[in-house]
């Protein structure tokens, strides 16, 4: 090994030796990561059953292990298991008897799984050409193997974080009890036919990742998460303690809507999150990873700081003065 490190030329022999070392270390890391992922998967599935009791998952528990090793089955079953866990981890749960096959699969899970399959293909191809003299191809496959492995690992971590965030939000919801219904509007007067603003729509890319951010990071309260007949979901959130206006998280379904995700008001601050304790909520949100654009500042109407949500929409965290509000 010492002699190898002293070699000054980047020869194929050096590449081969490094590949052996990489393979040994990589195999160990892959094994440990696989064990950790399976442990998390079993726990996440148990949590999902508790969140959505009465909803049958597509595949039995035995496939959580066997599904990775049976040829052909391992091309789709593990993804289906993760999709089911994510769908049934929504705070509030799914109604008993819900058909998981009717729920649109997660794009986040799909991206992870396609990257995993691509890495797997690179591994198989590398094995097939191991005894050939195609040095350039071997090097290219080694690089592809490393890149795809890291990409799949990062995407898997994102999936784990999203599902864990959903389950934490569900646990918090269960501890606090069911969210109260939206406040009833005051009886309209003759000259006041509209008494309050009930919902504001916010276009999102994915229901679950939006819930994980707005509930898990911003600390909003999940009011409703209902599956509708067309396969879409009715998802509403609002600040804890609020009684009237809530935000409807509407998944983009057309190219025009997708283009508006993160830019519904042309780059302006479009949403104002009021607080009665700016220091408390600013610190909590910073700790949760919310991206603030600036340090808190004092304006005539109160203390304010702009931040961005996970899509880039601009918000203000605001503690108003008693005598003035922004116009």
What CATH number did the domain enclosing 252 receive? 3.10.180.10
Say if residue 204 is in the same domain as residue 93.
no
Say if residue 46 is in the same domain as residue 124.
yes
Structural domain includes residue 186: no
Q: What angle do CA 264, 265, 268 make, to 5 degrees?
A: 135
Say if residue 208 is in the same domain as residue 283.
no
**pLDDT at site 196:** 67
Say if residue 241 is in the same domain as residue 293.
no
Which pair of tokens denotes residue 115?
């990257």
**Distance between CA atoms of residues 302 and 106, nearest Å:** 40
Structural domain includes residue 125: yes
Per-residue pLDDT of the chain (327 residues; tens, 9 = 90+): 334 444 444 555 655 566 677 677 867 877 888 889 889 999 999 988 888 888 889 998 889 888 888 989 889 999 999 999 998 888 777 777 788 887 778 888 999 999 989 988 887 887 777 677 777 777 787 788 788 888 988 999 999 999 998 888 887 776 665 444 433 444 444 444 556 678 899 999 999 999 999 998 999 989 888 888 777 899 999 988 777 789 999 999 999 999 999 998 888 999 999 998 999 999 999 999 999 999 999 988 889 999 999 999 999 999 987 534 444
Residue 48: HSE in the Cβ half-sphere, 13 Å Cα cutoff = 23
Say if residue 113 is in the same domain as residue 206.
no
**Distance between CA atoms of residues 22 and 20, nearest Å:** 5
Cβ atoms within 10 Å, residue 108? 19
Say if residue 74 is in the same domain as residue 166.
yes
> Which of 230, 261, 292 lies at the terminal end of a domain, its last residue?
261
**pLDDT at site 136:** 78
Helices (H), 52-134: 63-66, 77-87, 107-128
**pLDDT at site 194:** 53
Say if residue 14 is in the same domain as residue 153.
yes
Structural domain includes residue 188: no
Q: Print the domain residue range for 206.
A: 195-261
**pLDDT at site 205:** 94
Say if residue 82 is in the same domain as residue 153.
yes
Structural domain includes residue 185: no
Structural domain includes residue 246: yes
The structure's pTM equals 0.55
**pLDDT at site 179:** 46
Say if residue 168 is in the same domain as residue 220.
no
**pLDDT at site 14:** 59
Structural domain includes residue 137: yes
Say if residue 53 is in the same domain as residue 109.
yes
**pLDDT at site 11:** 56
Say if residue 231 is in the same domain as residue 279.
no
Structural domain includes residue 189: no
**pLDDT at site 19:** 63
Structural domain includes residue 276: yes
Say if residue 233 is in the same domain as residue 277.
no
CB within 8 Å of 233: residues ≥ 6 apart:
207, 225, 226, 227, 251
Number of domains in the chain: 3
């Amino acid at each position: 090994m010492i002699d190898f490190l002293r070699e000054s030329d980047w020869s194929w022999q050096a590449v081969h030796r490094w590949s052996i070392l990489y393979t040994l270390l990589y195999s160990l890391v892959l094994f440990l990561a696989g064990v950790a992922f399976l442990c998390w998967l079993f726990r996440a599935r148990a949590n999902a059953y508790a969140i959505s009791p009465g909803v049958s998952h597509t595949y039995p528990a035995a496939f959580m292990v066997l599904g990775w090793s049976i040829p052909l089955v391992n091309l789709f079953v593990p993804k289906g298991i993760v999709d089911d866990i994510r769908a049934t981890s929504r705070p509030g749960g799914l109604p008993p008897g819900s058909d998981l096959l009717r729920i649109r699969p997660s794009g986040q899970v799909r991206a992870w799984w396609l990257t995993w399959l691509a890495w797997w293909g690179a591994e198989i191809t590398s094995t097939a050409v191991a005894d050939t003299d195609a040095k350039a191809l071997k090097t290219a496959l080694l690089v592809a193997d490393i890149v795809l492995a890291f990409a799949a690992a990062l995407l898997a971590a994102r999936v784990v974080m999203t599902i864990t965030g959903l389950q934490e939000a569900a646990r918090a919801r269960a501890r606090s009890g069911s969210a109260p219904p939206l406040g009833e509007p005051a009886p309209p007067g003759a000259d006041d036919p509209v008494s309050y603003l009930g919902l504001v729509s916010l276009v999102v890319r994915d229901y679950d990742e939006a819930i994980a951010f707005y509930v898990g990071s911003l600390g909003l309260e999940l009011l409703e998460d209902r599956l509708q007949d067309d396969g879409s979901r009715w998802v509403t959130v609002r600040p804890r303690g609020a009684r009237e206006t809530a935000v409807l998280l509407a998944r983009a379904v057309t190219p025009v809507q997708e283009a508006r995700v993160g830019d519904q008001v042309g780059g302006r601050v479009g949403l104002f999150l009021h607080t009665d304790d700016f220091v408390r909520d600013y610190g909590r949100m910073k700790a949760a990873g919310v991206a603030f654009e600036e340090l808190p500042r004092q304006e005539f109407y109160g203390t304010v700081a702009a931040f961005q949500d996970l899509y880039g929409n601009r918000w203000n965290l605001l503690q108003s003065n008693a005598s003035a509000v922004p116009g």
